[in-house]
Structure 1
Amino acid sequence: MVFKLISAASRTWRRLQGENQLPKIIQGVKFRDGIGVSVPTSQSAA
């Protein structure tokens, strides 16, 4: 019975968008509105 419930529910499941962004998330890249945001590193004058 559980199998039937899960198989019926899986017909309406959607595939996640942006699965190609997963490696960036693992690396720690921050995203804002779906776009990767690079944090500027502080530069010191020599």
Structure 2
Amino acid sequence: IESTFATVRLRTAKTRGCVARHTILSMVYKLGQSAQKKWRRLRGFKLLAEVIRGVRFKDGERVEPVKEGELTRVVNI
């Protein structure tokens, strides 16, 4: 997967020292605008706090943790 800023990093590395600072900043800004058109909007952003807390999800649905007693019953069957 290509990094979001790989395009900007490549162009700035190739032109470093060849152009004025103002020119390179303008170029980086325009490259960022161009890359932004290709970014995908993050869906489910309301669930990010739960993901950070460690809640498990499968196919976009919350998976409840299995209790120890239930796990024992399933194994004994």
Deviation at 1:13, TM superposition (A): 2.0
How many residues are aligned here?
43
TM-score by length of 2: 0.49
Unaligned runs of 5+ in 1: none
CA distance in 2, matches of 1:34, 1:25: 11
Look at both structures and tell me which one has the larger radius of gyration over its CA atoms: 2
Relative contact order, higher structure (CA 8 A, sep 6+): 2
Higher relative strand content: 1
Higher relative helix content: 2
Deviation at 1:36, TM superposition (A): 0.7
How well do the aligned residues superpose, as a CA RMSD in angstroms? 1.2
TM-score by length of 1: 0.74
The list of structure 1 runs, each at least 4 consecutive aligned residues, that deviate by more than 3 angstroms after superposition, is: none
What residue in structure 2 maps to residue 8 of structure 1? 34
